[in-house]
Amino acid sequence: MKEAKVTIDRDFSIAETDPRLFGAFVEHLGRCVYGGIYEPGHSTADERGFRRDVLELVRELAPTIIRYPGGNFVSGYNWEDGVGPVENRPRRLDLAWMSTEPNTFGTNEFMDWCRVAGVEPMMAVNLGTRGPDDARRLLEYCNFPSGTELSDLRRSHGWEKPHNVRFWCLGNEMDGPWQMETKTAWEYGRIAAEAAKLMKWIDPTIELAACGSSSRNMPTFGSWEDTVLDHSFDHVEYISLHTYLNNYADDTPAFLASPDLMDSFIEEVVAIADAVAARKRSPKRIMLSFDEWNVWYRTRRKNEGRVKLGWPVAPTILEEIYNMQDALAFGGACISLLNHADRIKSACLAQLVNAIAPIMTETGGPAWRQSIFYPFKDMSNLGRGTVLQTKVNSPTYETTYYDPRGTSELRFPLPAVPYLKLSVVHNHDEDCVTIFALNRSLDESLSIEALVRGFEGLAVKEAHQLRNDDLMAINTKDAPDTIKPSSLEGVEIWGEQVRAKLAPATWNVIRLEVQKQ
């Protein structure tokens, strides 16, 4: 059995988790909207067409903020198409996903859905085929109370009160050649700065995220962030990051190590943003919005999103079926986000329903949880509070992660991957300490001994694991509970010492409560 030692101290912390760290993403992509969150005529649909069974799972998952309407979709989206009487809305060809957009669900429907789901809306503006003036018009429509053409237009559509959207994304992946009207860093930086300026003249209380690189593997990564922030530094609060973990190489140890490269990506973007601040002699610090992250590779390799299928409405595309090993890599990404809570203040799991999502539905049928549902649920529900610094002494292994980009074969050597990946969060209100622990060993249990300083009278409140000996196991409509959490037995406490035995290839959560003296 492998052994790891961990030191935790109440007085040494990373940061408070921002509520927006636990976000997700709804895009007009495949069946995410139509047949996902919105399906009039479904047996569970409410009077607005919102699927109640999906809403129940969303509340269980507990995301806090939802990014909308894209994604690639937003770079060709005319927001005016999705407001006003539904019968008057145009049908458009969506070049992002080669489908037909009926526009029966739009901005106001999304705002209503967010209110029902109890989440904050995050809106993206089109800086692909449109520009700064269109962005400020959408902001005025959404946020201005009344007395202008656009605010009164919203009121005439039936939404008397403003939506008060506080967080806005300035476009999406504008460095990507797959994007409608791709731009250079200089072009995008100038447009983003101008859009930000106009939008904040209308509502100075909003927060804005500029597009960072679409991935760490983009040829322009680094120089893109530097140039974009050089233009927009004074106008934005965030720079975005996007990452999709993969197992193209069918190499499970490398796959489970891939969240460590996510750590590197975060730290590199922080360094670039701070270099811009230093160059500008500014005490301001740009925060990070990790507004797309997930495991995604099977349907991505098939290039499903770019296959012409006769321009259907809500095609069945990018419906990644997640197995047990995907859930483990995903859990590692959750830990990476928590451990960088000092700079990542917003993050969005992409996406929420059907398309690369934790929730699956059958159109006209049931909804169920995918394997990745559970680590996110744990992080979102139990990861709120102060992330504590940890010192982890764990045995390691060597591997090489494969991450292709176009015709390039990129390989990242990882010489010392700890078998134990771990994060610890102290919830002050409940006076609970939660340990999130991933055992990346495929064939050996991992004994952990944690010294938890500064907390007197600790007791185990709850401990569970996500485990299936078949790493290829999946949840389906007919077998929705093949992968689900089970009790983690044998957690022991002696004073400040916490001991546990983690089974091979498991995601584990240990909650410790401080007994009142």
Amino acid of residue 34: Y
Q: Are strands 506-514 and 432-439 parallel, antiparallel or unpaired?
A: antiparallel
Q: Are strands 99-101 and 432-439 parallel, antiparallel or unpaired?
A: unpaired
Where do the DSSP E strands lie in 325-457?
A: 344-349, 359-361, 367-369, 386-393, 396-402, 411-418, 420-427, 432-439, 446-453
3-class DSSP state of 143: helix
> Whole-angstrom Cα distance, residue 53 to residue 357?
15
Residue 292 bears catalytic tag:
yes
174 contacts 183 by C-beta, under 8 angstroms = yes
Output the six-digit token pair for 144.
Answer: 């201005």
> Whole-angstrom Cα distance, residue 34 to residue 314?
6
Amino acid of residue 253: P
Structural element, H or E, at residue 5: strand 2-16
370 contacts 357 by C-beta, under 8 angstroms = yes
- The CB-side HSE value for 81 (13 A sphere, CA atoms) comes to 15
> Whole-angstrom Cα distance, residue 116 to residue 108?
13
> Whole-angstrom Cα distance, residue 178 to residue 75?
10
Catalytic residue among 292, 304, 320, 513: 292
Q: How many helices (H) and strands (E) does the chain have?
A: 11, 24
Catalytic residue among 39, 120, 173, 513: 173
Beta-carbon contacts of residue 317 (< 8 Å; ≥ 6 apart): 29, 30, 97, 299, 304, 305, 307, 309, 355
Q: What distances in angstroms separate CA 93 from CA 101, 111, 309, 312, one per listed residue?
A: 6, 24, 12, 9
Amino acid of residue 484: K
Question: Which residues are known catalytic residues?
Answer: 173, 292
